[in-house]
Amino acid sequence: MSELNFPQQTHFYRGKVRDVYTIDNRLLVMIASDRISAFDVILPEPIPYKGQVLNQIAAYMLNATKDICKNWLLETPTANSSVGLKCEPFKIEMVVRGHLTGHAWRTYNSGKRILCGVALPEGLKENDAFPTPIITPSTKASEGHDEDISKEEIIAQGLATADEWQQLEQLALSLFKRGQELALKQGLILVDTKYEFGKLESEIVLMDEIHTPDSSRYFYADGFEERQQAGEKQKQLSKEFVREWLIENNFMGKEGQQVPEMKEEWINTISKRYIELYEKVIGEAFQPQQVGEEEQLEKITKALSKY
């Protein structure tokens, strides 16, 4: 996707998976591309409809949680674009974990029992639920890898005040609880996720995307306990299967490692998995939409004129 140009545009930023336009220093236009990243590296091939899936799940979830926390979103002019308010971001990601999986499991399995200053209970197996969800924040790196950080370090480094941290913690846990409830209605378990917050004047506002396959992990609820008892792998809907494929092919984003070749069959498999997640999470059939650049520009410009 080439760079678009909007009236009163003041900044453009191409992220790992999204193109972000600042309008009049007040509004943001986010276009979710079909790029896919893992281990903080953009993979060489785009995934058909991935941008639409992420954008539409995020909009659905932001609307379903706005009673808990005000969010940045104003509207979605096209299937893969969002227009919203520009906030001053906290340079941290609030990672909420309901289960011992992914990075937390890799840390635990290496013998460590502290993650981001949070003590992890003994005797857990991979994918076991924590007694209560935990928050394991990370720094929001503008380049390179995000790093684990503790609550104490966040406050000491001035990334949030003690009072702001308390609010962020409470909001993140409330949003996660709602996310779990929404997932369970669809026969899914929201395993872990991340939230990003910012400030609009003095108010804390939820930003970015939430409860999407790029920011979250879902397990199928049906048969979860049986699979845990039998020590089997959990059936999951997330981007983790892409990470696992990369690890199997000796790639973890480290220096000198080569991204394996992505064949057409594998690209289509990833696309189908994203569409499956959309249909499971939203509970509706996915309607693929292709929007040309001219139409995209026209629809977003029209939406911006309202604000």
Better-scored residue on pLDDT, 1 or 102: 102
pLDDT at position 145 over 80: no
Q: How many CB atoms lie within 10 A of CB 231?
A: 9
- For 17, 71, 186, the CA distances from 246, given in Å and listed in that order, are 18, 34, 29
Cα four-point dihedral sign 118, 124, 126, 132: negative
What does DSSP say about strands 129-135 and 92-99: parallel, antiparallel, or unpaired?
antiparallel
Q: Give the rounded percent of residues in the chain with a pLDDT score beyond 70.
A: 98
Best CA proximity match to 212, nearest among 107, 82, 302: 82
Q: Residue 141 pLDDT more than 80?
A: no
Q: What single letter denotes the amino acid at residue 48? A: P
230-244 residue pLDDT tens: 999 998 887 888 999
Residue 230 three-state SS: coil
Comparing CA positions, the residue from 14, 43, 47, 45 lying closest to residue 31 is 14
Largest CA distance in the chain: 59
Query: In this predicted structure, what is the pLDDT of residue 144?
Result: 60
Contact 146, 91 (CB under 8 A): no
pLDDT value of residue 257 = 94
What are 18-70's pLDDT values in tens digits?
999 999 999 999 999 999 999 889 999 999 999 999 999 999 999 999 999 99
Give tens-digit pLDDT for 258-306. 999 999 999 999 999 999 889 999 999 999 998 889 999 999 999 999 9
pLDDT for 142 equals 63
pLDDT of residue 143: 61
For residue 291, what pLDDT is reported? 86
* Angle in degrees, CA 270, 276, 281, rounded to 5: 130
Q: Is pLDDT of 2 > 90?
A: no
State the pLDDT at residue 290: 87
CA distance 103 to 265: 28
Burial grade of 108 (CB within 10 A; 0-12, 13-18, 19 or more):
buried
Q: What is the pLDDT of residues 187-229, one digit of tens each?
A: 999 999 999 999 999 999 999 999 998 899 999 999 999 999 9
Domain residue ranges in the chain: 89-238
pLDDT, tens only, 154-177: 999 999 999 999 999 999 999 999
CATH architecture type of domain 89-238:
2-Layer Sandwich (3.30)
Averaged over 107-123, what is the pLDDT? Answer: 97
Q: What is the pLDDT of residue 294?
A: 93
Coarse DSSP helix, strand, coil percentages of the chain, rounded to the nearest 5 percent: 35, 25, 40
